[in-house]
Amino acid sequence: MKLTIVAATGGIGRQLLAQSLAAGHEVTAVVRNPSRLDVDVKAVAVDLSDVNGQSEALRSAVQGADAVLSGLGARTKTDYGVATRGTRALIEAMDAVGTKRLVVVSAAPIGTVASPARPNPPRYDEGDGFVMRHVLNPMVKRVLRDHYADLATMEDEVRASRLDWTIIRPPQLTDKPLTGAYRTAYGQNLRGGTKISRADVADLMLRSLTMPESGHAVMALAY
């Protein structure tokens, strides 16, 4: 397949890049700084924290792609909003050139985070157990409030698009190696699922491209 990987030098993006190349896919990497790439691939320099004037570069990056996979998200407090702004620009570029398949990464708690399109989300995720509902999620949401608000609004943009989309919601990310031995669920989190490696997130993102049931779906994964 011909794939475009957005934020290809991020934690998940690097895994997507490595696994895509190992599988023999043709890859275009969308990155802020191409010099940070440690593999020889076609690179398009786009700073998605400031999308003004970059629509042409984005269009060229997604032109002819069978799918676009995005690991876009804030790395620091100054990046808050990048997921929404960057994904909106990405969707516009895909619409302009007729590319349809999009897979993005969000986060496990987002189903219960309010957003402009979902001002009254469920109080609890059906897949969460007692400790997750009443201890861990409230604590994490306080600490990462702005980051999660950005991801929730990003999900609004994806859902409202005319694309064939999949939203992946992982729990806490680790740098452990690829296992392929994880659980998945549609539309809710996984009971007791608190961690997943970035490598396994990338694995599911790529697998979803051959899973018809993943279209217009939210997928959770965890060990």
Q: Give, in degrees to the nearest 5, the angle at Cα 161 between 156 and 162.
A: 155
CA 161, CA 92: separation in Å to the nearest integer? 9
20: helix, strand or coil: helix
pTM (2 decimals)? 0.96
pLDDT in tens, 174-217: 999 999 999 999 999 999 999 999 999 999 999 999 999 999 99
Q: What is the DSSP string of 171-191?
A: SEEE-PPP----EEEESS--T
- Domain containing 45: what range? 2-222
- CATH code of the domain containing 151: 3.40.50.720
CA 95, CA 157: separation in Å to the nearest integer? 13
pLDDT in tens, 27-69: 999 999 999 999 999 999 999 888 887 899 999 999 999 999 9
CA 34, CA 44: separation in Å to the nearest integer? 7
pLDDT band at 150 (very low <50, low <70, confident <90, very high): very high
Residue 48: how many CB atoms within 10 A of its CB?
A: 23
The tokens of 208 are what? Answer: 């979803």
pLDDT in tens, 85-122: 999 999 999 999 999 999 999 999 999 999 999 999 99
Comparing CA positions, the residue from 110, 156, 155, 116 lying closest to residue 137 is 110
User: How many domains, in total, are found in the chain?
Assistant: 1
Residue appearing with tokens 């031995």 = 181
The tokens of 119 are what? Answer: 């001002």
CA 64, CA 89: separation in Å to the nearest integer? 17
